[in-house]
Structure 1
Amino acid sequence: MFLTFFVRSVPAATVLVGLIGIPWAMTNWAPFALIAEEISKRDAIRRGALRPPPTREGELLAQGEDESGGAGADQAGVVLGIHNVAIAAPQVIAALVSSVIFRALQKERGVPGDNSVAWVLRFGGCAALIAGWLTRRVGE
């Protein structure tokens, strides 16, 4: 997103937005693949096809329970619903912050030099850098 300071033409902006499609595709694909793999693994442990890890969680998993003692943990719909909320909440926040940035920086139609879109993209780039830095704190 730092390239938004240097882009001055429509073709260059088109290429820049096209390049955003590469990480966007990974962002859309990877979480669902990881969730599906984990649900499948945990289901295989419950069915006895895989050996549970030697932890308390592994014992509960093999018995078909979760740590709260509830049965039927790891239902795919529940897990994907939680994932959906985790995706939708930041999008709502980004829309609200973007509208504030547009309100503050957008010029009237026909007035040259409106770079409010670039500032929204820069904000998104900064948020992505902060998110990347915060993911270093996530454990295995």
Structure 2
Amino acid sequence: MSKLFAILLTSLILVQSLHIDYDDIVQFDELIEHAQFHKAEYGDNFFVFISKHYGELKADHNQKHQEEEQEHKQLPFQCSDHMLLITAFVMQDLFSELEVIEIMEINTANFHYHSSFSSLHKKGLLQPPKHA
């Protein structure tokens, strides 16, 4: 059971690292259907089809075939909403801005000790009787 869980978790991390969403998986049949259309209509093999829709021939194909624009929007892996985070920071010398603090040493004691422990034995309250 733990091996199955590890395999599923690893595959989930792999799929998410490739930025594949559930929508892309659902639209995969549209990709196959459109590839078959290109094979029947234009005689393209699968690699030429991928190049026309995702590679270097994409701009040329989009200009020549405007009538297929709605079908192209239904293909998977069309979104390019990857998140890019740029963190900029400036290193400054903090010690040049800090002032030197003078520590004054005071020799007088600023506390006194008061015993918080009291013994009832000294008061004679819990002493055994002295006269028998």
TM-score between both structures, scaled by the size of structure 1:
0.24
Larger Rg: 2
TM-score between both structures, scaled by the size of structure 2:
0.25
Considering fraction of residues, name the structure with more helix: 1
